[in-house]
Chains A and B, each alone.
Chain A
């Protein structure tokens, strides 16, 4: 049995699952310190399902808490960044393109030192431990306890980052250190940015994870607990305390994985209709298709792999204008229950239209008397067009695909979507996020450059797969269940020696059930 919890911006959702069956669900407002909301959700779930907590195999938590901290510039620790790569890279120091107030919040402590590697593993310059030691002493003098270390092409060779960490540790024994090679992919600035963001969140992460542990202990829950990663897999609590940045985008990913589970479909389009926007994503083999371009978090450029979603301005609260006809993008948002006409307000919203058309029973339909049938029809048609067009954009083949519809605003969609082989509105869709967290497996990823002139393609793939699998096991996977779920090879332009970038994702079941 497992409990999945999704701590969202507005609500904390929780589900109790016995194998593949949903036993109970609950939704409570998210609290400022997140822990209270989790405790409330757990209490409701346990009592309403009459659960004997000793039967729990695990508690899985997905949260946007750390993303929000970066976006809101709150609870972030003063952080120093050391980059190894001189004499190269000096023209663009660490944090060079960060929004000024965020860089200032972290203290703008950036240091460049010698080291780094070329794409083929050659050193750019030798590692100089005296140089790093002097930098560490300067950092220590300023009382900074969070340090991020990046080195050019560290995914190819992480040795200098590891050596620098040893030096920093000897000078500042209680520093928390993040190595860019452990969390990031090829792309110096993006990887370094991820490392710095991770470092500044370490204190918050430790505090938050401790809070989660306390919440569980207060309920006598001794089952292990896990945190959702951005790719829909889990990491155990201690790993998560060290790598909070890996939780970014876990929400949308869990939502899609939950939709996949509830519908029994591994390949489908997922439409999540919210209050203001509708997000459309694509499920491939049970995981969201990822976006190609760099992703900005709080204004900082990163290369985290995020689900590829198309967002359109259509939601339950979308404001309707009849002359000329417009549906959204303005929305009453969370004020739906006071501003929509069915709820006594004066704004005509998409929800009102759905009720007037007889597709939903919320509020008081009598308040819609006088709404012209032509308006209802025209709006419904426009909504159908918006959805059809968006689905068409996301589909990659002309063949019909199943479409899963989730989200509170799904009452808006009842027409047959063009190109949909079937339309599924699964039960419990309102807590798809929490379900996605509950059913997740444990994963590991590797992203490296190999020279195919020095090893065979098979050898490189084997090594990459082995590394990804080892990382999955380190994160808590049962080695016997680890499978490779994704392999991507990109030959690198202009480089000799047949340089190829290989990215592998491995996934396995949680050790111990």
Chain B
């Protein structure tokens, strides 16, 4: 059993399905983060793997199989429509591939990375450590800003919740960070300077306890820490950037990677939090 996307519940579902089916689940996934669409998986940045044949089920008795599509983007469109009809949530399985392909095209060790990060955060909380700083250093990321949300706007475009927020830093001469999102946080700018953009991860957590703040719970006044985390190397190839880089999301800029070497997809993540980036 493989995991398509390590984000949120999508990391747990395959694990449970694997246990129920009696097969092991591979420690790894196809994104090393969360992204909204099926063609954004690392398996799709190579020839030889297709999303279809694709199976979908809902919570009731409905199921569907899509044997073939004209490419990953078409599979995403059809699957999205089916999921909506199924009540806005559906289980999905596809991306059939060989072990060799999974090894070559997947992003390994992300399940154990998630587990170790969670353990580190829980330890940091009970020890009263600075949790956002712990998360940043564990993931070789940067604390871009600590501040409060001072502006927030949302609009629906083509079924996705798009919007933006402004975070003002604490202190006498506060810095001001602008962040835009389309379900996921896409780009963070300080004035005209882009601090981080997709495919690198922009993570917003609560300032006090390092709890993730997703786009739906953003509120005026919430105190947050914004982290920039380097994405897995597999997301930064030219072919990958054509699908998950800033231009693919409508920003007319070239991708500028965050400086540190990513721990996502790297076996030495076993030493989470130790050693320097």
Contacts and interface: CB of A to CB of B under 8 A. Distances in A.
Most chain A CB inside 10 Å of its own CB: which residue of B155, B170, B211, B219: B219
Interface in B132-174: 148-150, 154-156, 159-161, 168, 170-171, 174
B88 A491 contact: no
Contacts of A498: 156
Contacts of B220: 289, 396
Interface residues of A, number: 33
A392 interface: yes
B216 A490 contact: yes
Interface in A390-438: 392-398
Contact of B148 (A119, A393, A496): A393
Given A393-B207, A396-B148, A88 B183 contact: no
Nearest to B58: A88
Nearest to B83: A494
Interface string A275-304: 000000010000001101100000000000
A289 B223 CA distance: 13
A395 B218 CA distance: 16
A492 interface: yes
Interface in A470-494: 489-494
A89 B206 CA distance: 29
A230 interface: no
A489 B219 CA distance: 11
A308 interface: yes
A230 B174 CA distance: 34
A95 to B, nearest CB: 20
B243 interface: no
Contacts of A395: 148
Contacts of B206: 293
A385 interface: no
A310 B170 CA distance: 14
B250 interface: no
Given A292-B219, A392-B171, A393-B148, A124 B161 contact: no
Contact of A491 (B87, B150, B155, B219): B155
Main secondary structure, interface of B, reads loop
B60 A87 contact: yes
B247 to A, nearest CB: 22
Nearest to A125: B60
Given A293-B206, A490-B154, A494-B160, A118 B221 contact: no
Interface string B169-209: 01100100000000100000000000000000000001110
Given A292-B218, A398-B168, A124 B154 contact: no
A489 B149 CA distance: 17
B216 A289 contact: no
Nearest to B181: A493
Nearest to B207: A393
Given A125-B60, A396-B221, A500-B156, A293 B170 contact: no
Contacts of A290: 219
B222 A124 contact: no
Contact of B87 (A124, A308, A389, A394): A124
Interface in B14-39: 36
Interface string B79-110: 00000100110000000000000000000000
Contacts of B84: 495-496
A495 B87 contact: no
A55 interface: no
Most chain B CB inside 10 Å of its own CB: which residue of A118, A308, A492: A118
Contact of A396 (B150, B183, B207, B215): B150
Nearest to A85: B59
Contacts of A118: 87-88
B170 A393 contact: yes
A393 B168 CA distance: 10
Contacts of A43: none
B88 A494 contact: yes
Top 8 nearest A-B pairs by Cβ distance?
A88-B59, A292-B219, A493-B161, A491-B156, A118-B87, A292-B222, A491-B161, A493-B183
Given A293-B206, A494-B88, 5 more contacts: A282-B221, A310-B208, A491-B161, A493-B183, A494-B36
13 contacts: A124-B59, A289-B220, A289-B221, A310-B208, A310-B223, A393-B223, A396-B148, A491-B161, A494-B88, A494-B159, A495-B88, A495-B159, A498-B156
Interface of A: 87-89, 118-119, 122, 124-125, 282, 289-290, 292-293, 308, 310, 389, 392-398, 489-496, 498, 500
